[in-house]
Amino acid sequence: MPSPRPRTRIQQRNSETILAAALDIFSQQGFRGATLDQIADLAGLSKPNLLYYFPSKEAIHTALLTDLLDVWLQPLRDLDPAGDPLAEILTYVRRKLDMSRDMPRESRLFANEVLQGAPRIEATMTGDLAALVEEKAGVIHAWVTAGHIAPVHPKHLIFSIWALTQHYADFDVQVRAVLGPQEPDPYPDAAQHLETMFIKMLKV
């Protein structure tokens, strides 16, 4: 069977435009509330033209989630067993917080999918994601056993990092409403707070 022909520059640009528009729509409306018409309008394309690139709303959503998870999990993959344990964990916290600052739409897309029961990424979550967390939990457990960091439940530590960093993207409106206009950028203080908290929790 012949290989598919590579996409032209225009086709690649249109595909990227569709995905960018879909990210906006899905992160605001959720999967159920989003429509192909909304995505096509925001992308500046006709609906038939959109369907030339992606056969369904599900296909667009799955493409976004697949790309997102690859990027989203990279900081955890980079947790180095040979590195300084506290420094490795603090770097992971900072990178996750930076992603919340720089990729809020992606964070909300993922949160919406999980809140719906993760029907489109369940296999990934029980497969690749679970395996990665198991691997890195083993690294953290080894650091605890060696006395390099204070005793902690490795998987719940990872969950805590996810919750405390992604909150700033998923609940951005709430964070900014509570902090008020006197603190327009919550991230510098958030980074300092989280670093202090995790140092106190983990330092031996």
Range of the domain at 54: 9-61
Q: What's the pLDDT at 1?
A: 45
**Considering the domain boundaries, does residue 110 fall inside one?**
yes
Whether 133 and 37 share a structural domain: no
Whether 89 and 183 share a structural domain: yes
- Structural domains of the chain, count: 2
b/e burial code for range 83-92 (CB count within 10 A of at least 16 → b): eebbebbbbb
**Considering the domain boundaries, does residue 4 fall inside one?**
no
Which CATH number goes with the domain that contains 53?
1.10.10.60
Global pTM? Answer: 0.87
* DSSP string over the chain: -PPPPPPPHHHHHHHHHHHHHHHHHHHHHHHHH--HHHHHHHHT--HHHHHHH-SSHHHHHHHHHHHHHHHHTHHHHT--TTS-HHHHHHHHHHHHHHHHHH-HHHHHHHHHHHHTT-TTTHHHIIIIIHHHHHHHHHHHHHHHHTTSS----HHHHHHHHHHHHHHHHHTHHHHHHHH-TT-S--HHHHHHHHHHHHHHHH--
Using one digit for the tens of pLDDT, what is the confidence trace for 95-146?
999 999 999 989 988 888 888 888 888 888 889 999 999 999 999 999 999 9
**Considering the domain boundaries, does residue 1 fall inside one?**
no
**Considering the domain boundaries, does residue 68 fall inside one?**
no
Whether 130 and 179 share a structural domain: yes
Using one digit for the tens of pLDDT, what is the confidence trace for 151-196?
999 999 999 999 999 999 999 999 999 999 999 999 999 999 999 9
Whether 197 and 97 share a structural domain: yes
Using one digit for the tens of pLDDT, what is the confidence trace for 14-63?
999 999 999 999 988 888 899 999 999 999 999 999 999 999 999 999 99
Which CATH number goes with the domain that contains 89?
1.10.357.10
